[in-house]
Chains A and B, each alone.
Chain A
């Protein structure tokens, strides 16, 4: 499978601070990739280097086989940069046409393309408005629209839903899911639930380096910095989320008594993490025992959440 992103000893310093500290990373084309990590981990810096917004201090970064920032990448990658917006005072449609023309499209094609991407983000009716008259969520969708102009092979999305209201989040999520088969995605976000739903691969950054934290069974240990996410270690795992924290301890005791449950551990945020042999049988038994005890439960899912895999069960 061809290489999507390759970084070798990639370093970026801001004064005395190393935002990227020798990143070694190779990602292949395919399923959407999540770029995650705590604040200050270097996610946005890596994103910016890959897009050519920021010059690396040392090392190399290649995207789609070309050096990041190279002219050869123009039109091949689209990006939704965090907090970036279009110019005020000029209609969104007009700006999208302008950007499309910069990508080499003719005037007529650029107009058609602007309408297409506006339709894609379901904002065709607001194309005549200037960006400042739109809500934050709509501006994010417009930013997404500009990333879709032309036929990008890779979309880099930096916090695509940060500060966005649920209806707009749904639209953005639907877009990503719809496009996932056609375009490669690298999505940076703090919202792990979102990433779990949208991505199949995870790159975890910490202190400017690619970290293997949270890697468990099924994850790759080949030194590429790529780890498996939801789906790869679902076998033999159930996660139960209860409606009330006061029910957690008695429910855990009750579930430990079930023959279908090998082990039960209480995660940091109160979820019950079950080790089981037969997931279907265990799920039925869990539902039955919780029902008998009148315990309100909100969800029962196979496997463990990305958040728990990364933060709650290290070591």
Chain B
């Protein structure tokens, strides 16, 4: 119950505070721009030229045959954009799970009423729920776009969305968990973001070194959080669930590290 209350409190902190609302508004404006200037033109272009031609073009450009796997080209473009953009949104949105509360001292008031692990879990779940909302909003927005531009494809597009949303959400969880870890380490949200950047670079270098040393082991590429993204790009939503689930392992590792920091660090 305490964790649920903390998770709901985290959600409320975002949707009921001016700062949170401004952040949500900023995302809405940004996403509107993405829809209007990226997803919609790309979808229309694909419709005009022909799915197979554009598919071949994207195949040459991006190295995979994307459009043929989706019911409407708008969905395919949304899939690619969301896979690359939403992790950044997750990182920035969840950078402040712990840090500013520690700096402000609010964490002390919480610790008198909940265990540190409950606070960590509640904040993580709250952010995960928030990102579920963001994923759902982005999916619904692109569905609206399909309804406007390709009404004939709407009924076929809808069934693929739940799996796509779930896969997208799974890819975001490691980032939220990573930010839980760095937020537990950092003293400010800005410092948490800088820590995340440093950690990202170090992990990239480490994974690159390992993949060169252990090239015969395919699993090495999955050491990095977000490593499943490339595998998910060329797949349908259902087929993308398997690589997306790798994120759960990363999530577990990051949360375990965050729990260690959280329970040991002075407030």
Contacts and interface: CB of A to CB of B under 8 A. Distances in A.
A77 B104 contact: no
A84 B105 contact: yes
Given A87-B13, A87-B17, A102-B2, A51 B106 contact: no
B5 A79 contact: no
B13 A103 contact: no
Contacts of A81: 105, 108-109
A103 B13 CA distance: 19
A80 B20 CA distance: 27
A98 B9 contact: yes
A313 interface: no
Interface residues of B, number: 26
Given A81-B108, A85-B105, A86-B109, A53 B5 contact: no
Looking at chain B's contact residues, is the secondary structure mostly helix, strand, loop, or mixed?
helix
A217 B227 CA distance: 73
Contact of A86 (B19, B106, B112): B106
A74 B113 contact: yes
Contacts of A86: 106, 109
B17 A90 contact: yes
Interface residues on A, range: 20 to 34
A203 B17 CA distance: 42
Contacts of A74: 112-114
B112 A79 contact: yes
A77 B112 CA distance: 8
Contact of B112 (A78, A90, A98): A78
A86 B108 CA distance: 10
Chain A interface, >50% SS class: loop
Interface string A86-97: 111110001000
Nearest to A71: B115
A162 interface: no
B212 interface: no
Nearest to A45: B266
Contacts of B115: 71
Contacts of A90: 12-13, 16-17
A54 interface: yes
Contacts of B108: 51, 53, 79, 81, 84
B20 A89 contact: yes
Nearest to A149: B113
Nearest to A54: B266
5 contacts: A84-B104, A87-B13, A87-B104, A88-B104, A89-B20
Given A74-B113, A84-B105, A89-B16, 10 more contacts: A51-B112, A54-B266, A75-B113, A78-B112, A79-B109, A85-B105, A90-B17, A98-B5, A99-B110, A101-B5
In the A-B complex, list the 10 residue pairs whose CB atoms are closest, starting with the nearest.
A84-B105, A89-B17, A102-B113, A53-B267, A54-B266, A81-B108, A84-B108, A89-B18, A89-B19, A90-B17
